[in-house]
Amino acid sequence: MGQLDMWSRGVDTRFVRAVVDRQAYAQLSTAQVAEPEAFAYWREMICATFVRLAAEPVVGGGFSGSIEHVAVGDVELSTVVAAGQHVRRTRALIAEGADEFLLASIQLGGRGRVEQDGRVALLSEGDMAFYDSTRAYTLHFDDPFRQLVVQVPKRELLPRDTRRLTARSLGAGTPGAVVATFFRSLAETARTGPGSGSILVPHAVGLLAAAAAYSGQLAPDRPAVEAMARQRIMDFLHHNLADPGLDADTVARACSVSRRTLYRIVGEDGVAARLRRLRIDRACSLLLADRRRPVAAVAAACGFESESGFFRAFRTATGQTPADYRHPR
User: Does the structure show a pLDDT above 90 at 239?
Assistant: no
Kindly state whether residues 133 and 282 are assigned to the same domain: no
Kindly state whether residues 85 and 215 are assigned to the same domain: yes
Kindly state whether residues 16 and 76 are assigned to the same domain: yes
Kindly state whether residues 219 and 297 are assigned to the same domain: no
pLDDT in tens, 23-50: 468 889 999 899 889 999 999 999 989 9
pLDDT in tens, 143-163: 999 999 999 998 877 667 899
Confidence of residue 9 (pLDDT cuts 50, 70, 90): very low
> Taking a C-beta distance cutoff of 8 angstroms, is the pair 140, 115 a contact?
yes
- The one-letter code for the residue type at 81 is V
User: Does the structure show a pLDDT above 50 at 293?
Assistant: yes
Report pLDDT for 4: 34
User: Does the structure show a pLDDT above 80 at 220?
Assistant: no
Residue 70 placed within a domain: yes
Confidence of residue 8 (pLDDT cuts 50, 70, 90): very low
Asked whether the whole model's pTM tops 0.75, one would answer no
Residue 262 placed within a domain: no
Kindly state whether residues 192 and 74 are assigned to the same domain: yes
Confidence of residue 18 (pLDDT cuts 50, 70, 90): low
Residue 266 placed within a domain: no
Kindly state whether residues 180 and 300 are assigned to the same domain: no
Kindly state whether residues 208 and 306 are assigned to the same domain: no
User: Does the structure show a pLDDT above 50 at 77?
Assistant: yes
Nearest C-alpha neighbor of 69 from the set 107, 102, 23, 30: 23
- Interatomic CA distance for residues 244 and 282, integer angstroms: 14
Kindly state whether residues 179 and 286 are assigned to the same domain: no
Confidence of residue 193 (pLDDT cuts 50, 70, 90): low
Residue 255 placed within a domain: no
- Interatomic CA distance for residues 40 and 56, integer angstroms: 9
User: Does the structure show a pLDDT above 80 at 3?
Assistant: no
Average pLDDT over residues 294-321: 93
User: Does the structure show a pLDDT above 60 at 13?
Assistant: no
Q: What is the number of domains present in the chain?
A: 2
Nearest C-alpha neighbor of 179 from the set 250, 102, 235, 236: 235
User: Does the structure show a pLDDT above 50 at 5?
Assistant: no
Average pLDDT over residues 308-317: 93
Report pLDDT for 6: 38
Q: What is the DSSP letter of 6?
A: G
Nearest C-alpha neighbor of 186 from the set 129, 278, 106, 270: 106
**Residue 327 phi/psi, 5° resolution?**
-130, 75
Kindly state whether residues 284 and 226 are assigned to the same domain: no
Q: By residue range, what is the domain housing residue 104?
A: 3-240
> Taking a C-beta distance cutoff of 8 angstroms, is the pair 66, 28 a contact?
yes
pLDDT in tens, 106-119: 999 999 999 999 99
Residue 249 placed within a domain: no
